[in-house]
Structure formats: C-alpha cells, structure tokens
Amino acid sequence: MIKVKNRKILLLPGDGIGPEVVNEVKKIIEWFNKNKSLDFKIDEGLVGGASYDKHKNPITDEVFYKALESEAVILGAVGGPKYDNLEFSKRPERALLKLRKELKLFANLRPAICFKQLVDASSLKPEIISGLDIMIVRELTGGIYFGEPRGIVPIENGERKGTNTHTYTTSEIHRVARVAFELAKKRKNTVTSCEKSNVMEAGMLWREEVQALRDKEFKKVELKHMLADNCAMQLVKDPKQFDVILTDNLFGDLLSDIAAMLTGSLGMLPSASLGIVNANGKRAAMYEPVHGSAPDITGQGKANPLAMIMSFAMMLRYSFDMNEDSNLIEQAVQNVLSKGLRTADIKQGSENAISTQEMGKAVISELTILLGK
C-alpha cells in the first residue's frame, strides 16, 4: 500500500473522562492508519489538571509548542473539583484559553444534529427535533471574554467594581462570518446572524459588517438577522428553521449550549475550533467534545466516546479535506445506534448500557463492515 504523507496530530487527553474518550479515538486513528493507507503521526501531552499535578502549570511550553507544530489538536476535557480553588492563572481552563488564543482559533463550529435513533433522548417533542441539523458558528477569540479593560477594582465606600469589555473590529467579524457563509454554501445556504443590536453598539457593528460582507462576497447566500434572546426562544420553539447560526463569543456560548441540549446528550456533541490560515496554507485547528471532564462518572467506563469520535470526524473534514472518511465515521456511528447499542447517557428505560470501550469497539466493527473488509 502507498502511504500518503504524514499528518501530525497532537492528543491532549486532559482530565476526568478526557483520557477515556481520547483512548477510543486513538484506536480509530490506528484503524485508519492500518486500513486506509493513512499515516497519522500521533503525539500526546498533558494538559489541564493533569499537567498541573505534574508541572504546577496547566500547559507547559513544551506541550504548547507541540500544539503549534501539529496540523490538528484533539482535546479530551479539562477541569474537575480538585482544581476549583486554584488561583486563576493555574486553573485547568487557562490551558484551553491559551490554546484558543495563541493558535488564534477564532471560529468555533458546533453541529447540533438529532440522530433519528435518539429522537426520544431529547426533552423536546420528536416532531420538533426529528431531522434537526444546525451548525452554530461562534466567534471564539474576541468579545467580552477577552476585551480590555477588565478586572475587579475597589471603589469608594468600600464597594468593588467588576468590568469586562465587549469589543469587536471589522476584520474580527468578517473572518468568522466568512467561515459561516462558506459552510452555508455547502448546506442549505442560509445564515442567521445573532447579536443585540438593539442595545449594544458592538452588536450594531456586528449586524452591519455581516450584512456588508454578505452583499460583497456571498450574494447567493440568504442572510437573516435575529436578536440573540429571540434566537434562544426560537431554538426551543422551532429549531428546524435554522441552518447556520453565526454569533459572537458570549451569545455563542449560551446559544450553542441550548442547541446542544436539543439533541439529548452532551455525550453526542462534537466541536471544531478553526484558526487563521498561515503562510503555508494550513489552518490551525482543535477538535474537542462539547462536554467537560464529567467527574461524576470518571473511571467507571460510563463515558460516551461518540462526541469525541465525531470530533475526530470533523477533523478529517475540516483539517484534511477527507470528507469521505469523515462520512464513513458518521455512518458507522449511525449504524451502531441503529443496532440499539447505547452508553448509559443515551439509553432508554431498562435498556442495557454498554461501556466506553465497548462503544469504541462497536464503531470500529462498523467501520470494518462499511469498508467491506
């Protein structure tokens, strides 16, 4: 077999169930290397609490530089109660924020797809969510989470004042809007852009600049504007009206969690964070499940690895243009669900649950069947 060129992937398992779900992805990467003539080179590093335990630092320079040199990073999850009282700069989440900021991962993509086999796992009526397929594009490196000035300062009469600043520039808005329009072109061709232009100047700028970019470069894509609070309501009332939702960092944080829950379980939700294209034409990217480190089920073999596995499928699509292989994984996941195999988080009533490892193994079996081997 002729091997295609090496692709460097960095695995950062992190904390809690992170290592458990990343372990299942590792087996799938190895399956691809063996069965599809690929040559993914895997490296690993500590991040979050696991890194703090060893180095007193949530991400070391060594791991950070490995991430810079990789073509794609796969992250499990970080955090846990053990680290909740650490000072701000040492907390596991700082590693994530550093990676997002330094890799300039400005566009966060979160698909919310309702698998027909899991329609009953949602708290909404089946007719509302059956066939749901939304892509949320959230700006990730600007807005109120990064804006200056920020901080807590003492003021007169013994009170304190907390400040965060919500700010966006034209180019920050255009680069993330461009990702949303490009995605829409390959889907149902509609972008709904959400902000609070009724009460925020930065929201007004967002609306104007998204419209200007659409009118200049994406005339064939339909663009709708919606206030972010209305979008939250519409997501619960009639989510199928949406195709691609484009929004800023703060509103995206909230709206993507609402969209996430439409589909039932956190264990089913992948995500991709894309950066700028560098001089070599490569885009930095990090892929991670939406869920956290789930301390309540850590070490029990109960974690659903499908969100992590589908994050890897997103990596194949967005970092390596391997759409066929990405589809193969998504089909394998569908087939596993059609056979009634469920981890505890997605099982119904008295159904038997399978373990993290059994779910990973089931996906590999389906991949092998689909490949006709």
Residues with a catalytic annotation lie at 145, 196, 229, 253, 257
* Residues within window 334-353 making contact with ligand NAD, judged by CB under 6 A: 345
What is the H or E stretch that residue 289 is in? Answer: strand 283-289
Closest among 217, 173, 172, 225 to 195, alpha carbons compared: 225
Taking the C-alpha atoms of residue 320 and residue 301, their distance in angstroms, rounded to an integer, is 31
CA atoms within 13 A on the CB side of 278: 14
**Amino acid symbol at 248:** D
Phi, psi of 90 (to 5 degrees): -100, -5
Tell the smallest beta-carbon distance from residue 185 to ligand NAD (Å).
29
Least Cβ distance, residue 192 to ligand NAD (angstroms): 25
Q: Which two tokens stand for residue 117?
A: 């086999």
Q: Which stretch binds ligand NAD (CB under 6 A): 5-13, 75-83, 126-134, 199-207?
A: 75-83
Residues of this chain, 43-72, that bind ligand NAD according to CB under 6 A: none
Contact present, 287 and 119 (Cβ < 8 Å): no
Q: Among residues 108 and 193, whose Cβ is nearest to ligand NAD?
A: 108
- Give the nearer residue to ligand NAD in terms of CB position, either 123 or 280: 123
Distances (CA, A) of 369 to 143, 332, 338: 46, 9, 14
3-state secondary structure of 37: coil
- Give the nearer residue to ligand NAD in terms of CB position, either 7 or 110: 110
- Smallest Cα–Cα separation from 25: which of 256, 276, 370, 316? 316
Residue 155 burial (CB count, 10 A): 8
- Tell me which of 13, 45, 79, 275 binds ligand NAD, using CB under 6 A: 79
Q: What is the distance between the alpha carbons of residues 74 and 13, in angstroms, rounded to a whole number?
A: 8
Taking the least distance from each CB to ligand NAD, the nearer of 203 and 267 is 267
Return the closest-CA partner of residue 180 out of 126, 217, 128: 217
- Would residue 304 be called left, alpha or beta, if left means φ above 0 and alpha means ψ between -120 and 50 degrees? beta
Size of the site for ligand NAD (CB under 6 A): 20
The least CB distance from residue 208 to ligand NAD, in Å, is 32
The residues near 201 (Cβ < 8 Å, ≥ 6 apart) are none
- Smallest separation (angstroms) from ligand NAD to the CB of 46: 14
Among 73, 78, 105, 337, binds ligand NAD (CB under 6 A): 78
Binding to ligand NAD (CB under 6 A) within 146-205 occurs at none
Of 60-68, 76-84, 130-138, 206-214, which segment contacts ligand NAD by CB under 6 A?
Answer: 76-84
Nearer to ligand NAD, 210 or 362 (CB): 362
CB 189 to ligand NAD: min, Å: 31
User: What is the closest distance, in whole angstroms, from the C-beta atom of residue 302 to ligand NAD in the complex?
Assistant: 6
Site for ligand NAD in 245-304 (CB under 6 A): 266-267, 288, 291-297, 303-304
- The residue number with the shortest CB distance to ligand NAD is 292
Contacting residues toward ligand NAD, per CB under 6 A? 17, 77-80, 96, 266-267, 288, 291-297, 303-304, 307, 345
